[in-house]
Amino acid sequence: MNTTHTTNTMSPLEREWKTLRIYLFYRLILSISLLTLYLLSPSTQHLPSESQWFVLGTTIGYIVLCCYQCIATRKVAEIGKLQVFLIVAVDVVCVALLEFINSPEGSNLSILLIVTVAAGSILVVGRLSLLFAAMATWAIFFRNIEQAITTQHLNSEDFLQSGFLGIACFLTAIIAQQLANRLRESEALASSRAIEVANLEELNKHIIQRMRTGIVVVDSNYQVLMINDACWRLLGMPEIQSHTHIENLSPELSEHLLQWKESNHYRSPPFKASISGPEVQTNFTLLKSGADSEVLIFVDDNTRMAQQAQQLKLASLGGLTASIAHEIRNPLGAISHAAQLLHESPELASEDVRLTEIIQQHSQRMNKVIENVLQLSRRNPAQPQIINLHQWLSEFIDEFAHTLSSPADIHFQSTRTATECRADPSQIQQVLSNLFINGLRYNEKQTGKRELWVVADISLQTEQPYVEIIDKGPGIPEDTASKIFEPFYTTDKTGTGLGLYISKELCEANQARLDYIPITTGSCFRITFSHPGRQTAL
């Protein structure tokens, strides 16, 4: 979900169209006003009948042309110079005719031509604006020249007034053209800057969407404004709609956000947003000062930090555990050997034979714990490689079935024969062996059959390959499911509590994740591998 910003900036073409529409609307009102004045003004009654009909026809024709040009401009994609020239020419001719016929003394309609020249100069680029000024000046001097020819008398005052109007037309054309050019330059600069900002915004969105760190932005009402793909996947790919509340995105994240709002020094602990998802760590910050500010939330995958912490812990405890294991193993071997010799003694009472068997049984169990601890402390770094998951699992299941002391049915299901993953085959083999043995044992206890189901596929949402090991055993209670990966935790009297812990450690060393998936009947353990082309932790 991304934020979208809409701007009200207008393109140069849209602004010119708006200016042209305003001017067309002005012409239509002007033509209707001239007709109204003609019909209502008493001065028009003194004109000869021929002049009255000419004025009436001119104003009606002006209205018709204005209406036609208003309609015609709607069908034109761009504003052309010819179109503007025709509009200006109609205005100049009509105003000049009305000014000429209205009265010998004039009616000062020529001053309207200044508006026409200004509008035409704004709408066109180049020297055509000077032509508009020249046309308007000719129209202004037309009545004076005609009167001078017919009456053989030159009215210097009228010529002077017309001259000032002509100069005003040229000055208006020059100033309007300069202002229009500067406005176009400013619009071009603003348009280029807007394109650069839009490209930069698009680049930022692309970078945010490609980031491995999850990012969420929420407003003061806890509505989600933006979320990138990484965060969406880390939170278990919830359904997101418009104005989604943060609680619908993740109840745990919403709770931590509320606590951080109460205290800015609050640091949220790692949590799981989904059953099969990774453990995540969140950090909060305000985008700006103020109580109504949006909150920027960083959601990080805690797997890598947990791996680094685990490596440091194992590095510091490796030598100590190895030394302690060796020190315990030596006396434990002596105890086990002495118990075996005592068990073989002919003078041993029958009731004491059981005691020697208990000593040997628990000595073997302690020795198994020591071997697991030594194996954990001496674990070699993973050497991952690209493997075909379908082919490798088929071969492993066949080899595993031959190593069993009693036959078992292992059902393998995989529809994607070309699925690849990156992992160390020997270490993943150790993980699968442990999960297979546990699954067969618990399935046999519950159903009496040594049976197991293995499913290999690719998640359509995360595009990550995974393997599921499913049994029909008694399952794991909900209150203990969170503890099964802790070291030395076990519900089996003969178990060491290190099998699942070591399996999870080996998966993390291979940039994979081992999760317990609750199902209706039995248990399901899922190994989720990283993308084949990536070598970073999930």
Per-residue model confidence (pLDDT) at position 43: 62
User: Do 351 and 482 lie in a common domain?
Assistant: no
CA atoms within 13 A on the CB side of 238: 20
Are both 94 and 167 inside the same structural domain? yes
Q: Which residues pair with 295 in a beta bridge?
A: 218, 286
Instruction: Please spell the DSSP secondary structure of 471-498, one letter per residue.
Output: E-S----TTTGGGTTSTT--SSTT--S-
Residues 55 and 175 in one domain: yes
In a domain, 86, yes or no: yes
Q: Residue 419 in 3-state DSSP?
A: coil
Q: Does any domain span residue 203? A: no
- Of 427, 429, 313, 318, nearest to 373 by C-alpha is 318
Total number of domains constituting the chain: 4
Domain co-membership, 315 together with 446: no
325 and 228 share a domain? no
**Domain termination residue (choose one: 302, 331, 352):** 302
Position 138 scores a pLDDT of 82
pLDDT (0 to 100) of residue 395 = 92
> Identity (one letter) of the amino acid at 234?
L
Domain that holds residue 171: 12-193
d(CA 225, CA 231): 13
Whether residues 163 and 85 share a domain: the answer is yes
pLDDT tens-place string over residues 302-313: 776 666 666 666
pLDDT of 154 strictly over 70: no
Q: Residues 5-60: pLDDT tens digits?
A: 444 555 666 777 778 888 888 888 888 887 887 777 666 666 666 667 777 788 88
Report pLDDT digits (tens) over 464-504. 899 999 999 998 888 888 888 887 778 776 666 778 888 88
Q: Which pLDDT score is estimated for 127? A: 79
Spatial separation of the C-alpha atoms in residues 468 and 413, rounded to whole Å: 10
Give pLDDT tens digits for 346-385: 777 777 777 888 888 778 777 777 776 666 666 667 788 8
Q: Which DSSP category does 412 fall into?
A: E
Residue 87 has pLDDT above 70, yes or no: yes
**Cβ proximity of 538 and 511 under 8 Å:** yes
In a shared domain, residues 61 and 150: yes
Alpha helical stretches, state H, 345-424: 350-377, 389-403
Instruction: Kindly report, residue by residue over 204-256, the tens digit of the pLDDT.
Output: 888 887 777 888 999 888 898 888 888 888 887 788 877 788 888 888 898 99
User: In angstroms, rounded to a whole number, what is the distance separating the alpha carbons of residues 527 and 454?
Assistant: 11
The pair of three-digit structure tokens given for residue 33, joined into one six-digit string: 């006003």
Residue 297's CATH number: 3.30.450.20
8 A C-beta contact, residue 227 and residue 297:
no
Tell me the percentage of the chain whose pLDDT exceeds 90.
Answer: 11
What is the pLDDT at residue 536?
Answer: 44
Contacts of 442 (CB under 8 A, 6+ apart): 471, 473, 474, 522, 523
Is 198 a member of any domain? no
| 501 and 428 housed in the same domain | yes
Looking at residue 311, its pLDDT comes to 64
494 and 465 share one domain: yes
Plot region of 524 (φ>0 → left; ψ -120 to 50 → alpha; else → beta):
beta
Domain final residue pick, 129, 163, 193: 193
pLDDT at 7: 45
What does the pLDDT read at residue 6? 43
Position 459, amino acid: S
Q: What's the whole-model pTM score?
A: 0.51
Is 538 part of any domain? no
- CA 456 – CA 388 distance, rounded (Å): 11
Question: What stretch of H or E contains 421?
Answer: strand 420-423
How far is it, in rounded angstroms, from Cα 439 to Cα 483?
18
Domain match, 509 and 360 both: no
533 within a domain of the structure (yes/no) = no
Q: CA angle, 478 as apex, 455 and 313 as ends, to 5°?
A: 80
Residue 4 lies in a domain: no
User: What is the model's pLDDT at position 313?
Assistant: 65
For residue 406, being part of any structural domain is answered with yes
Residue 538: what pLDDT? 38
- Average pLDDT over the chain reads 80
Tokens of 281: 């760590």
Rounded-to-10 torsion of CA 424, 405, 489, 496: -100
CATH number at residue 473: 3.30.565.10
Domain end, chosen from 302, 320, 342, is at 302
Beta bridge partners of 361: none
Residue 430 shares a structural domain with residue 471: yes
Query: 399 in a domain, yes or no?
Result: yes
Q: How confident is the model at residue 454 (pLDDT cuts 50, 70, 90)?
A: very high
- The H-or-E segment that residue 387 falls in is strand 385-388
Are residues 364 and 410 both part of a single domain?
no
